[in-house]
Structure 1
Amino acid sequence: MKDLATAVGIFGGFGVVITANILEGGNPMSMLLLPPMLLVFGTSILITIAGGTLPDAKAAVKALGRAFGGSNQISGADAVPQIVSLADRARREGLLALEDMVKDMDDPFLAKGVTLAIDGTDPEEVRDILEAEVSAKKRADKQSAKFYADAGAYAPTIGIVGTVMGLVHVLENLAEPEKLGHLIAAAFLATLWGVASANIIFLPISARLKRLSELECSRMELVVEGIAAIQAGANPRVIQQKLTSLLPAEDQLSEAA
């Protein structure tokens, strides 16, 4: 099941802002002016790209799907029974008997670990390989989260730049008072979108990616411990207790139930 917390939070946040605007007698459409929105979103994203590399930017765009859709494998709770089942069969029939079970695994990281074990790879080498993959994922996820955190830091300042630009236009039209109201409103919309985009879009996405990374890497670390225990020939019941102890408190309660 997908976790839609980010979509609910961001669209709900904008919904509250729009509702408050209507209750104050405003017109939500008046906030949708293209120039300030283009300035804030376009410039913020472009200067964020300038602070990294193009592969970083591409990875950040791909990460949006994870941020809004979540992941089917962010908790280690569902991995525990699978690992225990593998341990039970390996204890009874040997590691080679797990080969048929690998084909049915929907977790590529677990499948990779089991395959390494089946191939007779030294347990220490298996651990090193899997832990290196976990570290690589942490670094990649950290960079994607940083991309949106940086955009959230730039956006309010870009909004102020837009407001100053708008006020310059106001001063250019002091001889035409009938235009001043519209120009002043348009000028301050840049600041509005700068602050709103940072605090309702960019920073929440960054925080979401950090949290997903924590959960997914915790699951991967649990799998590493499970593979090590299987290779050591540990008792499946002991493996279950050990892996359960690595889960968050709420997942431990559900496992016990």
Structure 2
Amino acid sequence: MDISTVLGLLLGVVFIIGGILTSGQIDSYVHIPSIIIVLGGTIASTLASFPLKNFLNTSKVIKKAFVYKEILPDEVIGEIINLANIARKEGLLALEEYAEELQDDFLQKGIMLIVDGTDPELVRNILETELIFLEERHMDGQSIFETMGTYAPAFGMIGTLIGLINMLKHLDDPSMIGPNMSVALVTTFYGSILANVVFLPLARKLKIRSKSEVLVKELIVEGLLSIQAGENPRIIEEKLKTFIPPELRKNYREHLEREGV
């Protein structure tokens, strides 16, 4: 479970409700027709913007924002160095048995390509092509929430216009102007809340998740090609450490010292 996603959404709601309660009553901000206009309109327009299959996968995309098992680059470097030591001592063919126990399909696929004697340039092309399509799939999920974040304020304005039209119909009754104006503005409020508290933050979180996963897989590609080229494990380690920030390099070195490496 990603604590920051849950905590961020909860704090956003809590602060908004707290602000409302310090200056007014919560029931003044509850208006079912406004919710229907903003949420229903946003979902309808998003559905019209994407293929049905992509839209139906939204639940899976949301799950990635809340439940995500992070793969740390320093752990992957350790895995690659282990593979390099095996290949150096027992040969590339020895990696096949090791690959069968791996749960990472991308790493497993790369190892099998190497074991099969595939040309290094072809190995790079195959793995980088898979990376490209991985990024495109991730972008599909991100763009759904970015689109919803764009449409929600727009439908908030549409709801406001509807409210203003209703208000203008009752200009002859001054007592109706205030309540109708309040209802009109509530719709804009809903649109802004959904966009800035829910949809856009989720899109941003998915983008960060994608960037992190792609970085790890790029690291794997370079590591596997270095193993195939027969490079020294120490050289491979120094090369791969350039993919990670200095603080992670320090943590990686401390981890190796604890392991006695």
The CA deviation at 1:49 is 2.5
- When structure 1 is superposed on structure 2, of 102-111 and 130-139 the one drifting more is 102-111
For 1:58-137, list aligned pairs within 5 A: 58-73=56-71, 75-137=72-134
Amino acid at match of 1:85: N
Could you tell me which of 43, 50, 53 is aligned with 2:51? 53
In structure 2, distance between residues paired with 1:116 and 1:133: 13
Deviations 1:74-125 (A, max 9, x none): x322111011101101111112212232233232211111122122222221
Letter in 1 for 2:138: D
Q: Is the 8 A contact 1:48 1:150 kept in 2?
A: yes
Deviates more, 1:14-23 or 1:137-146: 137-146
In structure 1, give the amino acid aligned to 2:220.
V
Q: Name structure 2 gaps, 5 residues minimum.
A: 255-261
Q: Give the equivalent residue in structure 1 for 2:243.
A: 246
Change in Cα spacing, 1:41 to 1:250, as seen in structure 2 (3 Å) is: farther
Matches of 2:88 and 2:219, distance apart in 1: 19
Deviation string, structure 1 residues 36-88 (Cα, Å, up to 9, x no partner): 11211121122122223223323444211111223332x32211101110110
| CA distance in structure 1 between the aligned counterparts of 2:123 and 2:26, rounded to whole angstroms | 57
What CA distance in whole angstroms lies between the structure 1 residues aligned with 2:67 and 2:57? 16
RMSD after superposition: 2.0
CA distance in structure 1 between the aligned counterparts of 2:113 and 2:3, rounded to whole angstroms? 35
Q: What is the percentage of aligned positions where both structures have the same residue?
A: 35
For 1:194, the equivalent position in structure 2 comes to: 191
**How many positions carry a matched residue from both structures?**
254
TM normalised by structure 2 equals: 0.89
The CA deviation at 1:161 is 0.6
Q: In structure 2, give the amino acid aligned to 1:196.
A: I
DSSP 3-state at the match of 1:87: helix
The range that moved more, 212-221 or 2-11, is: 2-11
State the partner residue of 1:5.
4
2:14 equivalent in structure 1: 15
